[in-house]
């Protein structure tokens, strides 16, 4: 059934919202359970379609997967297959992360090239070149990557770009390799640190020094109980929604350091931001000031908040500029925001120009990816009248219990059949 989200806009969001576990952390953690036959209890696992896809993936590869609570999953058992199902990998790009654990455990892996959001070219060459440095033979056949290695061997790897996915892939390979592996120019995102902490809990020998990650492999990996990191991107989205609607919103159970780039930008825009130990409060002081935003790998401004903050800036005072440097073609929200009366355009240099306006008007719009969908929801909440957001399958991949959390902040939202 195809559904849409009906939003009655113009109400300031007020209140407090609990932030669930991070999808971008849960996915590599679930993939990493393939590295051990031990029993893993993962807590704070978000209820999202992408997370279910990864759980289905490790189940298809032989693992026993049981939900033991609303946000707790038990994963145990051994790997019985090293062939990743096409239909699961094509659903979600992160499914490609099973490549390294499979070749590390079984000596061979057959994984289709990944799918997921259409947000520009995201090649996996950094994954594959790094695995070759560890002794993996890589071949491509009919849209599939076939990786083979009798034994992984530790080595020094330099990443030309600090790719999150490549860093995760290579960390999981490194803990199965003989000797020491050092990854230079690795990603530094909080989700990378979460994966490293989880692997350490399993018994791996890892150390992180900024962008240099070192692992000594061949350690026996066992059991673990582990709580997934809270979702900094979801937290940032609710913060931005609070600002865009002229409200006052607190996000709970989130590390303020993980979302510091956003907090600093909001302060620069004239927003009051108060940080606690595990909370952040934002309070609007009228229309935000214009901003210049450039997305960068962590600790830079996160690409996953580019679309949401662009939505907020359509209501800012003056002219704003947002430059996307991490992904190309991540601008599905621009044309849809224009339908709502935003003065927004994008150039072929991946730069968005925004002239702030007093108000947006509700209309029918469509989400083209997860974060574009969030941007449209924010615009609908802040705009006048009724907004209908379709393409909810994207939002379901990235935002746990979105409707109920927005309602708890005072929003008027309803999810209905598209024919209704």
- Rounded Cα distance between 308 and 238, Å, is 9
- Rounded Cα distance between 258 and 335, Å, is 30
- Rounded Cα distance between 323 and 398, Å, is 23
Return the exposure string of 178-215: e unless at least 16 CB atoms fall within 10 Å of the residue's CB, then b: eeebbbebbbbbbbbbbbbbbbbebbbebebeebebbb
User: Could you tell me the two tokens for 211?
Assistant: 């962008």
174 by Cβ neighbours in 10 Å (0-12 / 13-18 / 19+) ranks as buried
Return the sign of the alpha-carbon dihedral for residues 397, 233, 84, 223.
negative
- Rounded Cα distance between 365 and 321, Å, is 23
- Rounded Cα distance between 376 and 368, Å, is 10
Question: 123 Cβ partners below 8 Å, 6+ apart?
Answer: none
- Rounded Cα distance between 200 and 175, Å, is 10
Q: Helix 125-133 to helix 99-106 angle, to the nearest 10 degrees?
A: 20
Of 30, 51, 75, 117, the catalytic one is 117
345 is an active site residue: no
3-state SS class at 58: helix
3-state SS class at 5: strand
What single-letter DSSP state applies at residue 149?
Answer: -
CA dihedral 330, 331, 333, 334 (to 10 degrees): 170
- Rounded Cα distance between 346 and 354, Å, is 9
Taking Cα atoms as reference points, which of 3, 14, 93 lies closest to residue 410? 14
Catalytic residues: 117
């Amino acid at each position: 059934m195809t559904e849409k989200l009906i939003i009655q806009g113009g109400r300031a969001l007020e209140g407090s919202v609990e932030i669930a576990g991070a999808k971008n952390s849960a996915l590599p953690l679930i993939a990493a359970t393939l590295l051990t036959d031990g029993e893993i209890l993962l807590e704070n696992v978000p209820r999202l379609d992408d997370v279910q896809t990864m759980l289905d993936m490790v189940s298809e590869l032989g693992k026993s997967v049981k939900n033991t609570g609303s946000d707790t999953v038990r994963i145990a058992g051994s790997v019985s297959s090293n062939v990743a199902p096409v239909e699961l990998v094509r659903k979600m790009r992160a499914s490609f992360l099973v490549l390294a654990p499979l070749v590390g455990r079984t000596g061979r892996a057959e994984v289709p090239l990944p799918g997921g959001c259409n947000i520009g070219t995201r090649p996996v060459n950094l994954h594959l070149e790094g695995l070759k440095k560890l002794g993996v033979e890589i071949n491509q056949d009919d849209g599939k990557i076939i990786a083979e290695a009798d034994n992984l061997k530790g080595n020094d790897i330099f990443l030309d770009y600090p790719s999150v996915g490549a860093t995760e892939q290579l960390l999981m390979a490194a803990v199965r390799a003989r000797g020491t592996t050092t990854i230079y120019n690795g990603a530094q995102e909080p989700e990378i640190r979460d994966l490293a902490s989880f692997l350490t809990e399993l018994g791996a020998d890892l150390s992180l020094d900024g962008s240099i990650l070192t692992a000594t492999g061949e350690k026996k990996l066992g059991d673990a109980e582990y709580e997934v990191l809270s979702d900094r991107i979801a937290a940032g989205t609710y913060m931005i929604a609070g600002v865009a609607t002229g409200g006052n919103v607190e996000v709970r159970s989130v590390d303020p350091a993980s979302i510091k780039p956003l907090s600093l930008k909001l302060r620069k825009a004239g927003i009051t931001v108060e940080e606690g130990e595990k909370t952040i409060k934002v309070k609007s002081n009228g229309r935000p000031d214009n901003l210049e935003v450039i997305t960068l790998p962590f600790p830079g401004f996160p690409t996953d908040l580019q679309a949401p903050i662009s939505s907020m800036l359509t209501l800012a005072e003056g002219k704003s500029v947002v430059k996307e440097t991490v992904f190309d073609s991540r601008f599905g929200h621009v044309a849809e925001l224009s339908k709502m009366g935003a003065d927004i355009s994008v150039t072929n240099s991946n730069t968005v120009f925004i002239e702030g306006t007093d108000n947006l008007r509700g209309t029918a719009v469509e989400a083209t990816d997860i974060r574009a969908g969030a941007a449209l929801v924010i615009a609908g909440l802040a705009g006048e009248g009724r907004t209908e957001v379709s393409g909810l399958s994207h939002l379901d991949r990235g935002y746990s219990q979105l409707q109920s959390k927005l309602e708890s902040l005072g929003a008027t939202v309803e999810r209905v059949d598209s024919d209704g």
